[in-house]
């Protein structure tokens, strides 16, 4: 019987900032899998990217994509058993579609020097992210949000206000800004999925969350235990860290050590 749920960001948290490896987190990952503790990915990445990563990790848990925009339930998860759809992922979302965001983004580009994933070729995404060709293509298969960069001096406050008028928001991730639906964030999706687990098991479950950047803040603060992972240079994101644990090391090494201590493995 499970007692905890582990929610984790990816880039710079479970995955190394430079090469996207999770090798340094293997000890904790293996323990989590052995104990059947749900390991739930919460990321700005896309469905296509996470589906491949879950295969590499050897997990079949639900996952949260594009900064909380969508929850996907794999066909082999405990929740899929209640649905008549066989061998299909179940999608839960109240966010606007990628097409709607792209149409608005094209209007924004007339006023601000922005460049989004939808404007880029695969090679440019590869250069910006360090991903290989296949990974870059998966990252461009978006459903709900538009990552973008600034190509010139930009009044961020004015941009935020302009976006808010359209019922949208901008969040800052590790590498990109992200145009998202208003009210969407990782914490809301985490709570939604936690409620589903608690309904299924008919018990209260402890939420453990790990992340490294400002767009992880609400998730870390909403969890029962929040862990802030250092950035790759050893510094920490500029957020309120009251009641949040600071990990000792960046990336998967810090992720591994923090979880082994929280789960009292040693």
DSSP single-letter state for residue 96: P
- Ordered DSSP codes for 209-244: EEE-SGGGHHHHHHSSEEEEPPPTTS---SS--TTE
Q: Annotated catalytic residue: which of 9, 11, 24, 216?
A: 9
Catalytic, 9? Answer yes
Which residue, among 207, 259, 249, has the nearest Cα to 229 in the 3D structure? 249
Q: What is the dihedral of CA 16, 18, 23, 26, to 10 degrees?
A: 0
How far is Cα 49 from Cα 65, in angstroms, rounded to an integer? 9
Look at the block and give the residue holding tokens 């430079």.
18
Contact at 8 Å (CB) between 231 and 12?
yes
Catalytic residues: 9
């Amino acid at each position: 019987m499970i007692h905890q749920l582990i929610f984790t960001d990816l880039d710079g948290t479970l995955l190394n900032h430079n090469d996207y490896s999770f090798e340094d987190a293997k000890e904790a990952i293996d323990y989590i899998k052995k104990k059947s503790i749900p390991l739930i990915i919460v990321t700005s990445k896309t469905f296509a990217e996470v589906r491949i990563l879950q295969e590499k990790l050897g997990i079949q848990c639900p996952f949260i994509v594009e900064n909380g925009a969508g929850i996907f339930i794999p066909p082999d998860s405990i929740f899929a058993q209640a649905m008549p759809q066989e061998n299909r992922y179940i999608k839960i979302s109240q966010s606007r579609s990628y097409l709607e965001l792209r149409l608005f983004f094209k209007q924004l580009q007339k006023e601000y020097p922005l460049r989004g994933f939808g404007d880029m070729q695969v090679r440019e995404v590869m250069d910006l992210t360090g991903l290989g060709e296949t990974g870059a293509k998966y990252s461009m298969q978006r459903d709900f949000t538009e990552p973008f960069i600034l190509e010139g001096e930009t009044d961020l406050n004015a941009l935020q206000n302009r976006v808010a008028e359209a019922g949208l928001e901008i969040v800052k991730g590790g590498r990109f800004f992200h145009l998202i639906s208003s009210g969407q964030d990782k914490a809301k999706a985490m709570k939604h999925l936690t409620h589903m687990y608690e309904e299924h098991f008919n018990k209260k479950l402890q939420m453990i969350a790990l992340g490294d950047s400002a767009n992880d803040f609400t998730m870390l603060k909403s969890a029962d235990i929040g862990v802030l992972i250092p950035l790759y240079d050893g510094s920490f994101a500029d957020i309120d860290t009251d009641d949040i644990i600071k990990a000792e090391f960046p990336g998967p090494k810090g992720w591994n050590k923090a979880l082994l201590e929280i789960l009292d493995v040693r």
